[in-house]
Protein backbone atom coordinates (compact mmCIF):
# COMPACT_ATOMS: atom_id res chain seq x y z
CA UNK A 1 0.00 0.00 0.00
CA UNK A 2 1.29 3.46 -0.84
CA UNK A 3 1.21 6.49 1.43
CA UNK A 4 -1.71 8.85 0.90
CA UNK A 5 0.54 11.91 0.57
CA UNK A 6 4.23 12.51 0.04
CA UNK A 7 6.15 13.58 3.12
CA UNK A 8 8.09 16.78 2.51
CA UNK A 9 11.88 16.91 2.87
CA UNK A 10 11.62 19.13 5.93
CA UNK A 11 9.13 16.87 7.71
CA UNK A 12 11.22 13.77 7.02
CA UNK A 13 14.42 15.46 8.18
CA UNK A 14 12.75 16.70 11.36
CA UNK A 15 11.63 13.15 12.10
CA UNK A 16 15.15 11.79 11.51
CA UNK A 17 16.94 14.53 13.47
CA UNK A 18 17.39 12.25 16.50
CA UNK A 19 18.76 9.27 14.55
CA UNK A 20 22.35 10.53 14.28
CA UNK A 21 25.01 8.45 15.98
CA UNK A 22 27.28 10.15 18.49
CA UNK A 23 30.92 9.09 18.80
CA UNK A 24 32.02 7.33 21.98
CA UNK A 25 33.91 9.67 24.27
CA UNK A 26 37.11 8.48 25.88
CA UNK A 27 39.16 10.27 28.50
CA UNK A 28 42.66 9.66 29.74
CA UNK A 29 43.11 7.76 32.99
CA UNK A 30 44.38 10.06 35.74
CA UNK A 31 46.65 7.32 37.05
CA UNK A 32 48.29 5.77 33.96
CA UNK A 33 47.06 7.91 31.04
CA UNK A 34 45.44 5.03 29.12
CA UNK A 35 42.17 5.84 27.31
CA UNK A 36 39.05 4.79 29.20
CA UNK A 37 35.33 5.50 29.25
CA UNK A 38 34.20 8.22 31.66
CA UNK A 39 32.67 6.99 34.94
CA UNK A 40 34.26 3.57 34.42
CA UNK A 41 37.29 1.77 35.83
CA UNK A 42 40.49 1.84 33.80
CA UNK A 43 41.10 -1.45 31.98
CA UNK A 44 44.88 -1.15 32.37
CA UNK A 45 45.34 -0.27 36.04
CA UNK A 46 41.85 -0.53 37.58
CA UNK A 47 41.89 3.10 38.76
CA UNK A 48 38.47 4.64 39.41
CA UNK A 49 39.01 7.55 41.80
CA UNK A 50 41.40 8.37 44.66
CA UNK A 51 41.07 5.82 47.44
CA UNK A 52 39.27 3.23 45.32
CA UNK A 53 40.89 0.61 43.14
CA UNK A 54 38.95 -2.15 41.42
CA UNK A 55 40.60 -5.51 40.88
CA UNK A 56 39.13 -7.97 38.46
CA UNK A 57 38.70 -11.50 39.77
CA UNK A 58 39.94 -14.35 37.64
CA UNK A 59 37.68 -17.21 36.62
CA UNK A 60 38.92 -20.61 37.58
CA UNK A 61 38.43 -23.36 35.02
CA UNK A 62 37.02 -26.23 37.09
Per-residue pLDDT tens digits for 10-36: 999 999 999 999 999 999 998 899 999
Q: What pLDDT sits at residue 16?
A: 95
In a domain, 4, yes or no: no
**At a CB cut-off of 8 Å and minimum separation 6, what does 43 contact?**
34, 36
In a domain, 7, yes or no: no
Q: Is the pLDDT of residue 59 over 80?
A: no
In a domain, 8, yes or no: no
In a domain, 9, yes or no: no
Range of the domain at 44: 25-55
Q: What pLDDT sits at residue 8?
A: 95
The chain-wide mean pLDDT, for the chain, equals 85
In a domain, 13, yes or no: no
In a domain, 18, yes or no: no
Q: What pLDDT sits at residue 57?
A: 60
**Count of structural domains, the chain:** 1
Residue range 39-59: average pLDDT? 77
d(C-alpha 38, C-alpha 5), whole Å: 46
Amino acid sequence: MLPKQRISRTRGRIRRSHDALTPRVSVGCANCGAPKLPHAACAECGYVRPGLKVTAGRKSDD
